[in-house]
Amino acid sequence: MSTQFFAKTSTEINLFQGYPSFDQLTRDEAEKIQVSLLSPCGRFMALATAETVHVFTGVEFTQSLLRVSLKDVYDLHFSPSGNFLSTWERPSISEPDHKNVKIWELNVETPSETPRYAYQAKMQNGWALQFSKLDNFALKQFDREVRIVKIDSADNATFNFSKPYSKLVPEQPISSFLISPSEFPTICTFSPEKSGKPAILSIYSIAEGVTEKKIATKTFFKADSCQLKWNLQGNAVLCMAITDFDSSNKSYYGENTLYLLSFQGANGTLGGKSVRVPLSKEGPIHDFTWSPTSRQFGVIYGYMPATITFFDLKGNVVHSLPEQPKNTMLFSPTGRYILIAGFGNLQGSVEILDRHDKFRCITKFDAANTSVCKWSPGGEFILTATTSPRLRVDNGLKIWHVTGTLCFVKEYKELLKVDWRHQISSKLNKSHVIKFQETSTEDSFSDPKLGKIEVEVHDSATEYLSKRQKKNGASSGASSKPAGAYRPPHARRAGGAPSVPGAAIRNAKVVPGTVGVVPGVSGKDSKAAAKNRKKRENNKNEPSPGAEALTVDETAQPKVNKEASPEEKKIRSLLKKLRAIEALKLKQASGETLEDTQILKIQSEDKVAKELDFLGWKSDGAQ
């Protein structure tokens, strides 16, 4: 694997060359790095400090492409083809009209230090413009309408939203929209439920002038907000509708429903379809994602243990897995392998399924405390990381092979971000002015089920595994006592604690109906108890009772025999009081302050002893 990946801390960025060498290139910045980002095309890396924004390119990001003086930049955004970089500055109180969003053009031989377009966005959520896959359209919402400009590189990339290429004005105000990732894009809009009117989900085709042709639409209730996901082909979109409150009071996070809108032909010339995805179990939707083939999608939903189901483009169930505690699903870039895992508040168990082999599980491994999980661009490796501030301990990253082998480990004191560097697409490379050639390409790998893979493990992974084995071995050998059932305090003191001076402990007596021994008590069985025990032994043909002897110091209380006589039950009750008195006397001898009711219980010891003697419980003596 030649694909690179990077890790960001507060003061440096580590770039790794990938399998098998994992060579590291450290970029040490004098100032604190506030935010960094890799472009989707893999050509650029942008980082922002307190005073500047810097864009690098090249095989190892050593070539400086653009450097501008810009203060308080806290967010970055690349267009899909990497031709434009958007920066978001913290709004200025002293300058109410300050345009804190700026767009910089990078796909030129010498990028200008003057932004191509600037506007104001006070909120950090949804501040960036939406670009089409080829960066030839840009979208921005103005109150109730969405304006679309067509970007012509020959026209110096103008963003004239006052004279847009097209306008989209839905019948209801929209709260969110998303352009499809296809070369001939469409737009999905969502209008929330309001004033008794249902929510509306629609797909529009872009047309010059006014965009008003609906390809597909769906109306429904119980939708205050939504989450949209297009498939890669851009002919189907999933919408998870979310309510702020759950009417059944079963969830803190509201109710979730999933809808599917799809169409056929260019811009829906062959018709569209909208369905509600049939989820067979109540509860929240933990994750939903498209296959890279764009023909299937998977959903993890329901109260734990969750249900995992795969659907086709028509919303029909393709396959379901047994219920299990999972909340994350990731398809590999080739679409063959599916990663399902339980992260967050779950234990971090990971399974890899083979889509071509009836969803068979090919490997399992544990990645505890994972906050970031991503497939490599070639689909052979998996990157898992524990980052801050999600977790401030055990920060670090791990590289796993698809067979479950841990290949590389890098630990950090504070790790803020990790990501793969994607390879530039050959289709998009034709229009790119800024290019670079990678030294090698990611090697293909054999199918795990064929057993032809020999994964080379880095020394860091070997050292990490050996440390864990030593740690686990030391912790397991710290205590020689095996884990067993719970023992009450009086039993623990009686079994192992040294005797307390001045504490009177009565001699052992045998509990009627059992052959167990009460600590510190001894005596003879009553006649009724002996008769009942002998009758049970003859009826059940059991071996000698001595083979099944139960000591009271190993159980919370003796087993009650259904055939026990009233005298036996009374004796057991009195012995229970006697054990409680002995426990209180131990507390009193150790200097612990007792309540008045506890002192009265201690004073009733003689009365309890007399009742035992009256019922035939003979003591050999008292200390």
Instruction: Render pLDDT for 15-28 as a digit per residue (tens, 0 to 9).
Output: 888 787 888 776 65
Contact 390, 382 (CB under 8 A): no
Q: Which two tokens stand for residue 16?
A: 């790794």
Average pLDDT over residues 55-74: 87
Let me know if residue 84 belongs to a domain: yes
Q: How many CB atoms lie within 10 A of CB 556?
A: 11
Q: Are residues 94 and 230 in the same domain?
A: no
Q: Are residues 83 and 204 in the same domain?
A: no
User: In this model, does residue 144 exceed pLDDT 60?
Assistant: yes
Q: 78 and 85 in contact (C-beta within 8 Å)?
A: yes
Q: Which two tokens stand for residue 411?
A: 């630990």
pLDDT of 90 > 70? The answer is yes
| 616: Cα separation from own chain's centroid | 65
Does one domain contain both 164 and 295?
A: yes
- Closest residue by Cα to residue 363 from 377, 354, 381, 351: 351
156 and 293 in a single domain? The answer is yes
Find the mean pLDDT for residues 128-148: 88
Show the 3-state SS of 439-480.
Answer: CCCCCCCCCHHHCCCCCCCCHHHHHHHHHHHHHHHHHHCCCC
pLDDT value of position 221: 86
Best CA proximity match to 355, nearest among 285, 297, 307: 297
**Domain total of the chain:** 3
Provide mean pLDDT across the span 224-246: 87
* Full strand arrangement of the beta sheet holding 84-89: 73-78, 84-89, 101-105, 117-119
In the predicted model, is pLDDT for residue 289 greater than 90? yes
Residue 506's pLDDT band, with cuts at 50, 70 and 90, is very low
pLDDT tens column, 168-208: 888 888 888 999 998 888 999 998 888 888 889 999 888 88
Q: What span, in angstroms and rounded, lies between the C-alpha atoms of 201 and 187? A: 11
pLDDT of 511 higher than 60: no
Do 51 and 115 fall into the same domain? yes
My answer on whether 300 and 222 are in the same domain is yes
Range of the domain at 508: 495-614
The pLDDT tens digits of the residues spanning 548-596 come to 433 334 334 444 444 567 777 888 888 888 888 888 888 888 878 888 7
Which of these, 73, 124, 126, 136, lies nearest to 102 by C-alpha position?
73
Residue 282 banded pLDDT, cuts 50, 70, 90: confident
Q: How confident is the model at residue 531 (pLDDT cuts 50, 70, 90)?
A: low
Please state which of the ranges 53-57, 294-298, 605-609 shows the lowest mean pLDDT: 605-609
CA dist 190 and 204 (Å) reads 11
Residue 66 belongs to a domain with what CATH number? Answer: 2.20.25
- Top-confidence residue, 300 or 529: 300
23 in a structural domain: no
How far, in whole angstroms, is CA 57 from its chain's centroid? 33
Residue 87, SS3 per DSSP: strand
Structure tokens at 107: 């796909």
Q: Is the pLDDT of residue 519 over 50?
A: no
DSSP for 65-76, written as a single string: EEEEE-SSEEEE
Average pLDDT rounded to a whole number, residues 238-250 = 79
Helix (H) or strand (E) holding 241: strand 236-242
As beta bridge partners, residue 210 has 167
Q: Which pair of structure tokens corresponds to residue 63?
A: 């070539």
> What is residue 279's three-state secondary structure?
coil
Same domain for 202 and 101: no
Q: Are 284 and 299 in contact (CB under 8 A)?
A: no
State how far the Cα of 377 lies from the Cα of 177, in Å rounded to an integer.
Answer: 27
Helix 566-589 and helix 489-496, axial crossing angle in degrees, nearest 10: 70
- Comparing C-alpha atoms, which of 440, 422, 420, 442 is closest to residue 82? 422
pLDDT per residue over 330-350, tens digit each? 999 888 899 999 888 888 889
Question: What pLDDT does 575 receive?
Answer: 86
Do 153 and 299 lie in one domain? The reply is: yes
Does 188 lie in the same domain as 77? no
Give the pLDDT mean for 505-518: 39
Euclidean distance between CA atoms 192 and 242, whole angstroms: 10
Q: Where a domain ends, among 109, 128, 147?
A: 128
Q: Does the structure show a pLDDT above 60 at 476?
A: no
Evaluate whether residue 417 is within a structural domain: no
Residue 453 counted as domain residue: no
Q: What residue type is assigned to position 223 of the chain?
A: A
Predicted pLDDT of residue 311: 92
The neighbouring-strand residues paired with 242 are: 225, 256
Are 421 and 376 in contact, with CB atoms under 8 Å apart?
no
Same domain, 157 and 301: yes
| pLDDT of amino acid 428 | 55
Amino acid letter, 566? P
Q: What are the angstrom distances between the C-alpha of 103 and each of 119, 126, 158, 181?
A: 9, 15, 11, 21
Residue 550 lies in a domain: yes
Greater pLDDT, 202 or 521: 202
* Spatial separation of the C-alpha atoms in residues 340 and 107, rounded to whole Å: 38
Q: Which of 372, 384, 376, 379 is nearest to 461 (CA)?
A: 384
| Integer Cα distance of 329 and 290 in angstroms | 10
Asked if the model's pLDDT at residue 427 lies above 90, the reply is no
Rounded CA-CA distance 140/161 in Å is 8
Q: Domain boundary at 64, 94, 128, which?
A: 128
Give me the chain's average pLDDT, please. 77
**Same structural domain, 52 and 152:** no
Locus of tokens 């001894």? 522
Task: Tell whether 279 is covered by a domain.
Answer: yes
Give the C-alpha separation, 201 to 192, whole Å.
Answer: 9
Quickly count: other Cβ atoms within 10 Å of residue 204's Cβ: 23
Task: Tell whether omega for the bond before 170 is within 30 degrees of 0, i.e. cis.
Answer: no
Q: For the whole model, what pTM was predicted?
A: 0.70
DSSP 126-187: T-SPEE-TTS-EEEEEETTEEEEEE--GGGT----TTS-SEEE--SS--SEEEE-SSSS-EE
DSSP 8-state class, residue 564 = -
DSSP state of 588: H
User: Where is pLDDT greater, at 320 or 390?
Assistant: 320
Residue 529 lies in a domain: yes
What does the pLDDT average to over 405-422?
Answer: 88
In a domain, 461, yes or no: no
Backbone angles phi, psi at 581, to 5 degrees: -65, -45
Q: Which of 77, 94, 128 is the last residue of a domain?
A: 128
196 and 116 within one domain: no
Using alpha carbons, select from 86, 83, 80 the residue that is nearest to residue 68.
86
Tell me what pLDDT residue 237 has.
Answer: 92
- DSSP of 481-518, one letter per residue? SPP-----HHHHHHHHSPPPTT---BPP-BPTTS--B-
